[in-house]
Chains A and B, each alone.
Chain A
Amino acid sequence: MKRWTLWVPLALFVSFCALAAYQLTRPKTEFVASTMIGKPLPEFALRAAVADRPALSSADFRDGKPRLFNIFASWCIPCAAEAPQLEALRRRGADIVSVAIRDHPEDVAYFLARYGNPYSKIGADDLSEVQLGIGSSGVPETFVIDGKGVIRYQHIGDIRASDVPVLLEKLEEARR
Protein backbone atom coordinates (compact mmCIF):
# COMPACT_ATOMS: atom_id res chain seq x y z
CA MET A 1 0.00 0.00 0.00
CA LYS A 2 1.34 3.41 -0.92
CA ARG A 3 1.65 5.91 1.89
CA TRP A 4 -0.77 8.42 0.43
CA THR A 5 -3.57 5.88 0.21
CA LEU A 6 -3.53 5.67 4.00
CA TRP A 7 -4.81 9.26 4.09
CA VAL A 8 -7.73 8.69 1.74
CA PRO A 9 -10.16 7.67 4.52
CA LEU A 10 -9.30 10.78 6.54
CA ALA A 11 -9.73 12.99 3.48
CA LEU A 12 -13.14 11.48 2.77
CA PHE A 13 -14.18 11.89 6.38
CA VAL A 14 -13.08 15.51 6.49
CA SER A 15 -15.15 16.30 3.41
CA PHE A 16 -18.12 14.57 5.03
CA CYS A 17 -17.68 16.71 8.15
CA ALA A 18 -17.44 19.87 6.06
CA LEU A 19 -20.65 18.98 4.24
CA ALA A 20 -22.45 18.05 7.46
CA ALA A 21 -21.29 21.21 9.21
CA TYR A 22 -22.43 23.35 6.29
CA GLN A 23 -25.82 21.66 6.30
CA LEU A 24 -26.20 22.18 10.04
CA THR A 25 -25.73 25.91 9.67
CA ARG A 26 -28.38 26.20 6.97
CA PRO A 27 -32.07 26.16 7.68
CA LYS A 28 -33.55 22.93 6.43
CA THR A 29 -35.56 23.40 3.26
CA GLU A 30 -38.76 21.60 4.01
CA PHE A 31 -40.68 22.56 0.92
CA VAL A 32 -40.64 21.20 -2.55
CA ALA A 33 -40.68 24.24 -4.83
CA SER A 34 -42.57 24.13 -8.09
CA THR A 35 -40.43 24.07 -11.20
CA MET A 36 -43.26 25.52 -13.26
CA ILE A 37 -42.25 29.14 -12.72
CA GLY A 38 -42.07 30.87 -16.10
CA LYS A 39 -44.27 28.24 -17.73
CA PRO A 40 -47.93 28.58 -18.67
CA LEU A 41 -50.67 27.09 -16.53
CA PRO A 42 -51.83 23.67 -17.71
CA GLU A 43 -55.27 23.46 -19.26
CA PHE A 44 -58.07 22.78 -16.82
CA ALA A 45 -61.75 23.51 -16.26
CA LEU A 46 -63.12 22.83 -12.79
CA ARG A 47 -66.65 22.94 -11.45
CA ALA A 48 -67.54 25.62 -8.95
CA ALA A 49 -66.65 24.76 -5.37
CA VAL A 50 -69.47 26.86 -3.86
CA ALA A 51 -72.75 28.21 -5.12
CA ASP A 52 -72.04 31.93 -4.82
CA ARG A 53 -68.76 32.05 -6.76
CA PRO A 54 -68.19 31.11 -10.39
CA ALA A 55 -66.12 28.11 -11.43
CA LEU A 56 -62.51 28.34 -12.54
CA SER A 57 -60.77 27.32 -15.72
CA SER A 58 -57.35 28.03 -17.21
CA ALA A 59 -58.97 30.30 -19.81
CA ASP A 60 -59.96 32.72 -17.03
CA PHE A 61 -56.30 33.65 -16.58
CA ARG A 62 -55.72 34.87 -20.12
CA ASP A 63 -57.63 38.14 -19.93
CA GLY A 64 -54.48 40.27 -19.66
CA LYS A 65 -54.93 40.84 -15.93
CA PRO A 66 -52.42 39.36 -13.46
CA ARG A 67 -53.89 37.75 -10.37
CA LEU A 68 -53.17 35.65 -7.30
CA PHE A 69 -53.99 31.98 -7.45
CA ASN A 70 -54.53 30.53 -4.00
CA ILE A 71 -54.55 26.80 -3.24
CA PHE A 72 -56.53 26.11 -0.08
CA ALA A 73 -58.81 23.66 1.67
CA SER A 74 -61.36 23.94 4.43
CA TRP A 75 -59.65 21.13 6.37
CA CYS A 76 -56.32 22.94 6.40
CA ILE A 77 -55.57 24.93 9.54
CA PRO A 78 -52.89 27.29 8.16
CA CYS A 79 -55.41 28.22 5.43
CA ALA A 80 -57.62 29.70 8.10
CA ALA A 81 -54.61 31.51 9.56
CA GLU A 82 -53.81 33.25 6.28
CA ALA A 83 -57.38 34.43 5.64
CA PRO A 84 -56.84 37.97 7.06
CA GLN A 85 -53.78 38.45 4.84
CA LEU A 86 -55.72 37.34 1.76
CA GLU A 87 -58.44 39.80 2.71
CA ALA A 88 -55.80 42.55 3.03
CA LEU A 89 -54.46 41.65 -0.42
CA ARG A 90 -57.95 41.83 -1.89
CA ARG A 91 -58.56 45.25 -0.32
CA ARG A 92 -55.33 46.48 -1.88
CA GLY A 93 -56.57 45.62 -5.31
CA ALA A 94 -55.42 42.06 -5.91
CA ASP A 95 -57.78 39.77 -7.76
CA ILE A 96 -57.64 36.42 -6.01
CA VAL A 97 -58.93 33.19 -7.50
CA SER A 98 -58.55 29.81 -5.91
CA VAL A 99 -59.04 26.09 -5.96
CA ALA A 100 -60.28 24.12 -2.97
CA ILE A 101 -58.43 20.81 -2.68
CA ARG A 102 -60.43 17.67 -1.93
CA ASP A 103 -63.34 19.45 -0.33
CA HIS A 104 -67.12 19.19 0.17
CA PRO A 105 -69.10 22.26 -1.02
CA GLU A 106 -70.79 22.66 2.37
CA ASP A 107 -67.44 22.56 4.19
CA VAL A 108 -66.02 25.21 1.84
CA ALA A 109 -69.09 27.38 2.34
CA TYR A 110 -68.79 27.08 6.10
CA PHE A 111 -65.07 27.88 5.95
CA LEU A 112 -65.69 31.00 3.82
CA ALA A 113 -68.55 32.14 6.02
CA ARG A 114 -66.37 31.83 9.08
CA TYR A 115 -63.02 33.18 7.84
CA GLY A 116 -64.10 35.47 5.01
CA ASN A 117 -64.24 35.10 1.27
CA PRO A 118 -61.59 37.06 -0.67
CA TYR A 119 -61.98 34.98 -3.83
CA SER A 120 -63.61 36.06 -7.07
CA LYS A 121 -63.69 32.52 -8.47
CA ILE A 122 -63.32 29.15 -6.77
CA GLY A 123 -62.78 25.84 -8.54
CA ALA A 124 -63.13 22.45 -6.86
CA ASP A 125 -59.99 20.38 -7.34
CA ASP A 126 -61.29 17.04 -6.08
CA LEU A 127 -58.47 14.95 -7.51
CA SER A 128 -55.67 17.46 -6.92
CA GLU A 129 -55.29 17.61 -10.70
CA VAL A 130 -54.65 21.32 -10.88
CA GLN A 131 -52.45 21.15 -7.82
CA LEU A 132 -50.28 18.47 -9.41
CA GLY A 133 -50.39 20.29 -12.73
CA ILE A 134 -48.79 23.45 -11.35
CA GLY A 135 -46.27 21.67 -9.13
CA SER A 136 -47.83 22.54 -5.78
CA SER A 137 -47.07 20.11 -3.00
CA GLY A 138 -49.34 21.23 -0.20
CA VAL A 139 -51.91 23.65 1.14
CA PRO A 140 -51.89 26.56 1.40
CA GLU A 141 -49.83 27.87 -1.49
CA THR A 142 -50.23 31.04 -3.49
CA PHE A 143 -49.09 31.60 -7.06
CA VAL A 144 -48.77 34.83 -9.02
CA ILE A 145 -50.11 34.34 -12.57
CA ASP A 146 -49.62 37.02 -15.22
CA GLY A 147 -52.20 38.18 -17.80
CA LYS A 148 -51.13 35.56 -20.31
CA GLY A 149 -51.62 32.72 -17.89
CA VAL A 150 -47.92 32.22 -17.15
CA ILE A 151 -46.86 31.24 -13.62
CA ARG A 152 -44.55 33.93 -12.29
CA TYR A 153 -44.07 33.30 -8.57
CA GLN A 154 -44.83 30.72 -5.90
CA HIS A 155 -45.38 31.35 -2.22
CA ILE A 156 -45.33 28.18 -0.12
CA GLY A 157 -47.15 27.98 3.19
CA ASP A 158 -49.49 30.44 4.86
CA ILE A 159 -49.15 34.12 4.00
CA ARG A 160 -47.85 36.16 6.92
CA ALA A 161 -48.39 39.90 7.22
CA SER A 162 -44.81 40.46 6.04
CA ASP A 163 -45.51 38.52 2.84
CA VAL A 164 -48.32 40.82 1.73
CA PRO A 165 -46.08 43.57 0.24
CA VAL A 166 -43.91 40.90 -1.43
CA LEU A 167 -46.92 39.40 -3.16
CA LEU A 168 -48.21 42.84 -4.19
CA GLU A 169 -44.82 43.62 -5.68
CA LYS A 170 -44.70 40.32 -7.57
CA LEU A 171 -48.20 41.08 -8.85
CA GLU A 172 -46.98 44.48 -10.02
CA GLU A 173 -44.00 42.86 -11.75
CA ALA A 174 -46.33 40.47 -13.52
CA ARG A 175 -48.24 43.46 -14.89
CA ARG A 176 -45.19 44.56 -16.90
Chain B
Amino acid sequence: MKFWPFIAALVAIYLAAAPSTVAAQDSLPPAPYAYNQLDDPQQEAAAQALMETLRCLKCQSQSIADSDAPMAGDMRHQVRTRIAMGEDPEDIRAWLIERYGDYVSYAPTVSETTWPLFAIPLLLILVAAIVLWRRFRRRA
Protein backbone atom coordinates (compact mmCIF):
# COMPACT_ATOMS: atom_id res chain seq x y z
CA MET B 1 0.00 0.00 0.00
CA LYS B 2 1.31 3.34 -0.86
CA PHE B 3 0.25 6.83 -0.70
CA TRP B 4 -2.87 8.60 -0.18
CA PRO B 5 -3.76 5.56 0.83
CA PHE B 6 -6.46 7.09 2.41
CA ILE B 7 -8.68 6.84 -0.49
CA ALA B 8 -6.99 3.77 -1.80
CA ALA B 9 -6.99 2.11 1.55
CA LEU B 10 -10.55 2.90 2.20
CA VAL B 11 -11.43 1.00 -0.90
CA ALA B 12 -9.33 -1.82 0.42
CA ILE B 13 -11.01 -1.76 3.74
CA TYR B 14 -14.40 -1.63 2.30
CA LEU B 15 -13.50 -4.72 0.40
CA ALA B 16 -12.05 -6.35 3.46
CA ALA B 17 -14.22 -9.34 2.71
CA ALA B 18 -12.37 -9.88 -0.55
CA PRO B 19 -9.54 -12.39 -0.42
CA SER B 20 -6.34 -10.86 0.73
CA THR B 21 -2.98 -11.80 -0.72
CA VAL B 22 -1.11 -10.79 2.39
CA ALA B 23 -2.34 -13.97 3.98
CA ALA B 24 0.88 -15.58 5.07
CA GLN B 25 4.47 -14.57 5.53
CA ASP B 26 7.47 -16.77 5.28
CA SER B 27 9.64 -17.19 8.33
CA LEU B 28 13.04 -17.22 6.61
CA PRO B 29 15.29 -14.29 7.51
CA PRO B 30 15.64 -11.70 4.73
CA ALA B 31 18.19 -12.26 1.99
CA PRO B 32 21.69 -11.01 2.92
CA TYR B 33 21.50 -7.91 0.75
CA ALA B 34 17.80 -7.19 1.23
CA TYR B 35 18.47 -4.91 4.18
CA ASN B 36 22.22 -4.50 3.99
CA GLN B 37 24.14 -2.05 1.92
CA LEU B 38 27.10 -2.67 -0.30
CA ASP B 39 30.41 -1.60 1.20
CA ASP B 40 31.40 0.55 -1.75
CA PRO B 41 29.31 3.75 -1.43
CA GLN B 42 29.39 4.34 -5.17
CA GLN B 43 28.09 0.88 -5.93
CA GLU B 44 25.45 1.25 -3.23
CA ALA B 45 24.33 4.56 -4.73
CA ALA B 46 24.04 2.95 -8.15
CA ALA B 47 22.08 0.04 -6.69
CA GLN B 48 19.81 2.40 -4.75
CA ALA B 49 19.11 4.50 -7.85
CA LEU B 50 18.21 1.39 -9.80
CA MET B 51 16.04 -0.08 -7.04
CA GLU B 52 14.00 3.08 -6.83
CA THR B 53 12.95 2.58 -10.44
CA LEU B 54 12.05 -1.11 -10.27
CA ARG B 55 8.53 -2.10 -9.44
CA CYS B 56 7.71 -4.43 -6.61
CA LEU B 57 5.64 -7.16 -8.22
CA LYS B 58 3.75 -8.04 -5.07
CA CYS B 59 2.72 -4.54 -4.01
CA GLN B 60 0.43 -1.77 -5.12
CA SER B 61 2.60 0.63 -7.10
CA GLN B 62 5.67 0.60 -4.90
CA SER B 63 9.27 0.39 -5.91
CA ILE B 64 11.38 -2.43 -4.51
CA ALA B 65 13.37 0.25 -2.68
CA ASP B 66 10.45 0.96 -0.40
CA SER B 67 8.70 -2.27 0.23
CA ASP B 68 8.89 -4.80 3.03
CA ALA B 69 7.53 -7.60 0.85
CA PRO B 70 9.94 -10.57 1.00
CA MET B 71 10.04 -10.76 -2.79
CA ALA B 72 11.08 -7.11 -2.97
CA GLY B 73 13.84 -7.99 -0.50
CA ASP B 74 15.00 -10.82 -2.74
CA MET B 75 14.96 -8.49 -5.72
CA ARG B 76 17.07 -5.97 -3.80
CA HIS B 77 19.48 -8.78 -2.97
CA GLN B 78 19.59 -9.68 -6.64
CA VAL B 79 20.27 -6.07 -7.68
CA ARG B 80 22.96 -5.47 -5.04
CA THR B 81 24.86 -8.71 -5.71
CA ARG B 82 24.84 -8.08 -9.44
CA ILE B 83 26.03 -4.51 -9.00
CA ALA B 84 28.74 -5.77 -6.64
CA MET B 85 29.87 -8.16 -9.37
CA GLY B 86 30.30 -5.15 -11.62
CA GLU B 87 27.21 -5.51 -13.75
CA ASP B 88 25.82 -2.35 -15.35
CA PRO B 89 22.54 -1.13 -13.77
CA GLU B 90 20.84 -0.88 -17.15
CA ASP B 91 21.82 -4.48 -17.92
CA ILE B 92 20.14 -5.57 -14.71
CA ARG B 93 17.04 -3.65 -15.69
CA ALA B 94 17.11 -5.30 -19.11
CA TRP B 95 17.49 -8.70 -17.45
CA LEU B 96 14.36 -8.08 -15.38
CA ILE B 97 12.41 -6.67 -18.32
CA GLU B 98 13.26 -9.83 -20.26
CA ARG B 99 11.52 -11.77 -17.51
CA TYR B 100 8.59 -9.56 -16.54
CA GLY B 101 8.10 -7.16 -19.42
CA ASP B 102 8.07 -3.36 -19.22
CA TYR B 103 5.83 -3.59 -16.17
CA VAL B 104 8.76 -4.19 -13.84
CA SER B 105 10.47 -0.89 -14.70
CA TYR B 106 9.17 2.52 -13.68
CA ALA B 107 11.38 4.13 -16.29
CA PRO B 108 9.66 3.71 -19.63
CA THR B 109 11.94 3.86 -22.65
CA VAL B 110 10.89 4.71 -26.18
CA SER B 111 9.49 1.55 -27.67
CA GLU B 112 6.65 0.33 -29.82
CA THR B 113 4.23 0.50 -26.92
CA THR B 114 5.49 3.58 -25.11
CA TRP B 115 6.34 6.13 -27.81
CA PRO B 116 3.22 8.24 -27.13
CA LEU B 117 4.56 8.88 -23.63
CA PHE B 118 7.35 10.83 -25.30
CA ALA B 119 5.58 12.08 -28.40
CA ILE B 120 2.74 13.73 -26.49
CA PRO B 121 5.01 15.92 -24.32
CA LEU B 122 6.76 17.06 -27.51
CA LEU B 123 3.35 17.84 -28.94
CA LEU B 124 2.51 19.74 -25.75
CA ILE B 125 5.66 21.83 -26.11
CA LEU B 126 4.66 22.58 -29.69
CA VAL B 127 1.11 23.49 -28.75
CA ALA B 128 2.31 25.67 -25.86
CA ALA B 129 4.73 27.46 -28.19
CA ILE B 130 2.04 28.04 -30.81
CA VAL B 131 -0.49 29.28 -28.27
CA LEU B 132 1.98 31.71 -26.73
CA TRP B 133 3.39 32.86 -30.06
CA ARG B 134 -0.02 33.56 -31.58
CA ARG B 135 -1.29 35.27 -28.49
CA PHE B 136 1.65 37.64 -28.24
CA ARG B 137 2.18 38.22 -31.93
CA ARG B 138 -1.36 39.44 -32.28
CA ARG B 139 -1.19 41.59 -29.21
CA ALA B 140 2.21 43.13 -29.42
A–B direct touch in complex (beta carbons closer than 8 A): yes
Q: Is the interface of B mostly helix, strand, loop or mixed?
A: helix
Tell me, in angstroms, the Cα distance from A35 to B97 when the chains sit together. 8
Chain B CB within 8 A of A103 CB: yes
Known A-B contacts A127-B78, A128-B71; A137 and B26 likewise in contact (beta carbons under 8 Å): no
Chain A CB within 8 A of B75 CB: yes
Chain B CB within 8 A of A64 CB: no
Tell me, in angstroms, the Cα distance from A33 to B104 when the chains sit together. 11
* Chain B residues bordering chain A, tally (CB within 8 A): 24
* Chain A residues bordering chain B, tally (CB within 8 A): 26
Q: Is the interface of A mostly helix, strand, loop or mixed?
A: loop
- Residue ID in chain A nearest B31 by CB atoms: A127
Known A-B contacts A32-B100, A126-B28; A137 and B58 likewise in contact (beta carbons under 8 Å): yes
Chain A CB within 8 A of B103 CB: yes
A34 near B99: Cβ-Cβ < 8 Å: yes
B57 near A137: Cβ-Cβ < 8 Å: yes
A132 near B58: Cβ-Cβ < 8 Å: no
Chain B CB within 8 A of A65 CB: no
Which residue in A36, A76, A132 is a CB contact (below 8 Å) of B74? A132
